[in-house]
Amino acid sequence: MKRSKHPNKEIEVAISYAEENGWTYKNSGKSAHSWGRLLCPLHTREGHQMSIWSTPRNSFNHAQQIRKLVDKCLHSKEEEVNEN
């Protein structure tokens, strides 16, 4: 199932960046306050995750937070090393 695009273009670009780095998007459901969740490649309790808000107070900062967490996550970098 293909995910819907985020209404804010800056956040959509950051989500696409996360997906290109191995992160997956998970829909939050009908009763949730967030738009969705991003999960790092390590799908265990030790893995990283982040809520994506549909209407954050500052969309530029929210997009930056997404990119920073993706860049900081060692799990996606470990998979690249293990593949080689």
Judge whether residue 53 has pLDDT over 90: yes
Query: How large is the average pLDDT for residues 18-23?
Result: 94
Instruction: Count how many domains the chain has.
Output: 1
User: Which tokens is 20 given?
Assistant: 């290109």
Residue 3 lies in a domain: no
Q: 1 or 52, which is more confident?
A: 52
Query: How large is the average pLDDT for residues 51-61?
Result: 93
Residue 14 lies in a domain: yes
Structural domain boundaries, residue 49 = 9-83
Residue 57 lies in a domain: yes
Residue 35 lies in a domain: yes
What one-character-per-residue DSSP string does the chain give? Answer: -PPPPPSSHHHHHHHHHHHHTT-EEEE--TT-SSSEEEE-S--STTS-EEEE-SS-S-HHHHHHHHHHHHHH-HHHHHHHHHH-
Calpha distance 71→32 (Å, rounded): 27
Judge whether residue 80 has pLDDT over 70: no
Residue 75 lies in a domain: yes
Residue 2 lies in a domain: no
Instruction: Output the CA angle 17-21-27, nearest 5 degrees.
Output: 70
